[in-house]
Amino acid sequence: MKRRWIIWIGLLAALISASTLASGQGFPLGLLPTPTQSDKPLVVGVWTEDPGYELGDALTLFFSVNQPAFIYLFDLQPDGIVRLLFPNVYSQYNYVAAGTHRLPDGEYELTIAPPTGVEELLIFASLTPIGLDPTTYSGPFPIIASDPSEAMYQLQSLMRAMTPIPTWATGWTAFTISGPSFDYEPPASDGSIPPFPPSYPPYPGQPGDAWYWQAGVWHAGLPTSGWYWYFGLEARWHLCLQIQ
């Protein structure tokens, strides 16, 4: 039987209005250079099945492009960290054919996790590879930048180093996250709240890191269910409870 991998995406901590969803993307695209003109303009888009989700829901993403292109999908997390959602450690080949595609596209899942709020996605398509593909992966979705401006500056630097500037296009979407609509009473605790994560060494606490305590050993990532520690952009640990 094939193994199914569950990947948890962080979500923006504060709710924003519907009008912000329509026009308030956090990626400053004005930093990017003007693309090379093409006889056939490049068009790309990204969307989700629903405009809103509840904690624990499975997430499926769709994107379309009107001609073969290199695709990069960025995820703006609640703490400002930008990760590369595609390509990723499970799906590393990002040159796709024209048409509609879906993520996840392999033996892994995208599952909505706390906190509630808004998640932003930016898709970037280019007719030429821009050199952003990770050579090694430190995690399923590598951290690209600590804020969206930094991510766009990185793209700008890569593109300005190319002659001519490649033909490119972008698309953007966002969706809201809410808590469960049903009444829920957490199970009784057995008192196994993990100890506070030690400072470096051995755990340096990089933004976006998560650790959980199981059978007397620290493990990187999120537990299926239970307590875990999350290290935020403000360099502080947060004790969280995951309920499956």
Query: For residues 218 and 223, what is the distance between their CA atoms, to the nearest angstrom?
Result: 11
User: What count of other Cβ atoms lies within 10 Å of the Cβ of residue 219?
Assistant: 13
Show Cβ contacts of residue 188 under 8 Å, excluding neighbours closer than 6 positions. Answer: none
Question: What is the pTM (predicted TM-score) of this model?
Answer: 0.66
Query: How do the pLDDT tens digits run along the chain, 244 residues long?
Result: 333 343 444 333 322 333 333 333 688 888 888 877 777 899 999 999 998 888 778 889 999 999 999 999 998 877 778 889 999 888 888 999 999 999 998 888 887 766 667 778 999 999 999 888 776 666 777 888 888 899 899 888 988 888 888 899 999 988 887 776 544 444 444 445 555 555 443 455 666 777 777 777 777 777 777 777 777 666 667 777 776 5
- pLDDT tens digits for 15-50? 233 333 333 368 888 888 887 777 789 999 999 999
**Coil/strand/helix, residue 137:** coil
**Coil/strand/helix, residue 117:** strand
Residue 171 is predicted with a pLDDT of 92
Residue 140 is predicted with a pLDDT of 79
Q: Give the number of C-alpha atoms closer than 13 A to the C-alpha of residue 13, restricted to the C-beta side.
A: 6
Cβ–Cβ < 8 Å for 56, 112 = yes
End-to-end CA gap in the chain: 22
DSSP character for 236? Answer: -
In Å, how far from its chain's centre is CA 107?
A: 17
Residue 86 is predicted with a pLDDT of 92
Residue 39 is predicted with a pLDDT of 77
Residue 123 is predicted with a pLDDT of 94
Cβ–Cβ < 8 Å for 74, 124 = yes
**Coil/strand/helix, residue 19:** helix
User: What count of other Cβ atoms lies within 10 Å of the Cβ of residue 189?
Assistant: 10
Burial of 40 (0-12, 13-18, 19+ CB in 10 A): exposed
Domains of the chain: 5-178 (2.60.40.2550), 187-244 (no CATH)
Residue 44 is predicted with a pLDDT of 94
Cis peptide before 78 (omega within 30 of 0): no
Show Cβ contacts of residue 29 under 8 Å, excluding neighbours closer than 6 positions. Answer: 152, 170
Q: How many residues does the chain have?
A: 244
Residue 99 is predicted with a pLDDT of 97
Mean of the per-residue pLDDT values of the chain: 75
